[in-house]
A and B are shown apart, each in its own frame.
Chain A
Amino acid sequence: MQYTLSILVENHAGVLSKISGLFSRRGFNIDSLAVGVTNDPTVSRITIVANGDEYVVEQLEKQLNKVIPVIKVKRLTEGEFISRELILIKVHCAPSKRAEIIKTAEIMQAKIVDAAPNCVTVEYCETSARIKTLIDMLKPYGIREIVRTGTIAIDRGNTSVSI
């Protein structure tokens, strides 16, 4: 089971290592992790996508809550939140293939942000699932490099994860 946790923490040095240390020493697997400051500069948000069964997730939430600089932990409900990842893909691109790749990017609503004689760089901000589709479509041309962020997520509608 994959789940997304939205964690509010005090914006101090060393907090991230407390959280990541907790994951590794208790044997929890992280798929992605993203950190950024919130509208309150003293508070940061860590979004974690992780894998595990119900027992693991429950333990994880409880253990996270024990970390003193952790202010709030919320497991986002499947289907009730919006999630995004940002990816930059450098694709091998012979001049003859350029139009094809641009077309593919257009279909997926991705942007070409850089080009060179033998490659283009595609920027894409989407859900993990759509990002995977784009990668699959670009693979045949030869992917040189992928740079991606962790997933960030926000509740749909009126609910929010705040203090």
Chain B
Amino acid sequence: MISGAEIMVKCLEAEGVSVIFGYPGATICPFYDKIYDSTAIKHILVRQEQNAAHMASGYARCSASGIPGVCVATSGPGATNLITGIATAYTDSIPLVAITGQVRSDLLGRDVFQEADITGACEPFVKHSYIVKKTEDLPRVFKEAFHIASTGRKGPVLIDIPMDIQEKEIEDFTYPESVNIIGYKPTTKGHAIQVKRAIEAIRSSRRPLIVSGGGVLLSGVKPTFQAFADTTGIPVISTMMGIGVMPSEHELYLGMLGTHGKTVANRALHDADVVIVCGARLGDRAVATPHQMSENTTVIHIDIDPAEIGKNVKTEIPIVGDMKNVMNMLIESIGDYKVSKQWQETVKTWKKDFLRVPPVFEGFVEPRTLIAHLSAMLRSKAILVADVGQNQIWCANNFRIREGRFLTTGGMGTMGYSIPAAVGAKLARPERDVVVVCGDGSFQMSMNELATIAGNNLAVKIIIMRNHRLGMVRELQDKNYNCRHSATVLQGDPDFLKIAEAYGIDYAEANSNAEAESIIKGIVDSDKPFILVCSVYPDTPSI
């Protein structure tokens, strides 16, 4: 005989899961009792469930396996705390499997202690969800959940499991080898005729431009993508989620587009006659108004999700399919096409013209300059995790990514993402440098996870850009609300150095770039976590 809880563990093992993030509670206890015995799966105890989802997200984004990140919580408040993390993964298309305990199935709907309709509450934020009513269904549900989360447009899948379903014992366990979901057959191969039309449009274009989104990274097609740009010479701009598709210093790469992006990227988008959008939804922060693009621009949109095509930007040539397949098709048929010298030169000139060096304020760290220098101090495959706020824009526009990753939440923009995501990233890639850049606002949203970092001795380096302000909102207030700084001054900030000390984490403070850089150089090779507090001039702008 085998219990539902044992089956759950065996399903995770069968999927190759080696790390899960969670927080126990009464209704998930049967599962926790069995995970206690698993030698294949390491459980990371978080300090708040939302962070378990963010950790699973950071893990999934960085792990080489492509296996969805897994987070676990109990029923009621444990489950509802997960929601923001699940919603973040949904908007950013990150593969997650979230497991929640639920009250006994015979008590469902009676508002008993710690009962919450979590499948109902998560409905708008999950790719799919299950509430398991029979122990016998568990293997099929797990198999389907992992399949749905990691194929097509990736995203979170929720499995809600009542306590009695976990406890019940059944005869035996076999894990299904395949899935057959009648309503779920994502298109992966691009339509040959549309690809042909795309090739024709590119070949007859004079000022083509590629916009890369997170989809390029999610489909693991970076080398082919770079090869396509290199052979054709087409300049590349990226959305926030697409940063890292090209090395920042690559001569064809112009930077991030959008309201907080690089002028050169927006200029190129405005002037381009053919725009190849690759795995991006082009939300309002990327293309705020249709005027950002010329009326005569031909848009080729490649995406695995047909609903994204034509949703935000008028599209002439839609290609639904996995980026990997479509990119290979494009490379095969593009032939000897080369972008005109004139367009390349124009773009290069803009790149030089729009270069700005931020001013330095005495006694403070200039965050943009520090981040621009950061990459050179790290190993080439470093993972930079930015939070949300000014720190995110500073990182997006200034970090000189080489072969590593830039992680942030571009879609949901959830403050507090960086520290837990970095925990997941470090567990997925222990051999790489993992650096967090956050503000003093976002740091305080998830600083409870310093315990998780300390407890597992994860060498995550945290740089806090401390300006005692919610800088991004403050900028909005300066611009749109007559400089009325309502609730954007962080009164009562604790001494972050003492916080670090309390958790037994090494720390330092910097009041100039020279100081900050010398501290960073001294700590990058250490196998211990570190917190660097940078004092930043309060009125430093995002861009």
Report whether A18 and B123 are in contact in the complex, using a CB–CB cutoff of 8 Å.
yes
Interface size on A, residues (CB 8 A): 21
Q: How far is the CA of A68 from the CA of B148 in the complex (A)?
A: 9
A1-17 interface bits toward B, Cβ cutoff 8 Å, 1 = contact, 0 = none: 00000000110001001
From 294 to 318 in chain B, residues with beta carbon under 8 angstroms from any chain A beta carbon are 305-307, 310-311
Tally B residues with Cβ within 8 Å of A. Answer: 17
Q: Are A63 and B183 in contact (CB under 8 A)?
A: no
Q: Do B119 and A68 have beta carbons less than 8 Å apart?
A: no
Query: A14 near B119 (CB under 8 angstroms)?
Result: yes
Given A59-B307, A62-B307, decide whether A69 and B183 contact each other with a Cβ distance below 8 A: yes
Alpha-carbon distance A69/B128, docked complex (angstroms): 9
Q: Given the known inter-chain contacts A58-B310, A65-B306, please indicate yes or no for A71 contacting B182, CB distance below 8 A.
A: yes
Which of B128, B183, B184, B306 counts the most A-chain CB atoms under 10 A from its CB? B183
Nearest CB on B from A61, distance (A): 9
Q: How far is the CA of A163 from the CA of B185 in the complex (A)?
A: 14
In Å, the complex CA distance between A55 and B309 comes to 11
Q: How long is the Cα–Cα vector from A11 to B306 in the complex, in angstroms?
A: 25
**Contact between A17 and B183, CB atoms less than 8 A apart:** no
| Contact across chains for B124 and A68 when beta carbons are under 8 A apart | no
When distances are taken between beta carbons in the complex, the residues of chain A under 8 Å from B305 are 66
B127 at the binding interface (Cβ < 8 Å): yes
Nearest to B310 among chain A residues (CB) is A58
| Residue of chain A at shortest CB distance from B152 | A66
Closest to B124 in A: A25
Report if B120 contacts A (CB, 8 A).
Answer: yes
Partner of B307, one of A14, A18, A66: A66
Contacts of A59 in B (CB 8 A): 307, 311
The reply to whether A68 and B306 form a contact with Cβ atoms under 8 Å apart is: no
Instruction: Give the residues in chain A near B184, CB-CB below 8 Å.
Output: 68
Closest residue on chain A to residue B314 by CB atoms = A55
B64 at the interface (CB under 8 A from A): no
Given contacts A10-B182, A18-B123, 14 further A-B pairs with CB under 8 A are: A9-B183, A10-B183, A17-B120, A55-B310, A58-B310, A62-B306, A66-B305, A66-B307, A67-B183, A68-B127, A68-B183, A68-B184, A69-B183, A71-B183
The 3 closest A-B pairs by CB, nearest first: A62-B307, A71-B183, A68-B128
Could you name 28 residue pairs across A and B whose Cβ atoms are closer than 8 Å?
Answer: A9-B183, A10-B182, A10-B183, A14-B131, A17-B120, A17-B123, A18-B123, A25-B124, A55-B310, A59-B307, A59-B311, A62-B306, A62-B307, A63-B307, A65-B306, A65-B307, A66-B305, A66-B307, A67-B183, A68-B128, A68-B148, A68-B181, A68-B183, A68-B184, A69-B183, A70-B183, A71-B183, A163-B182
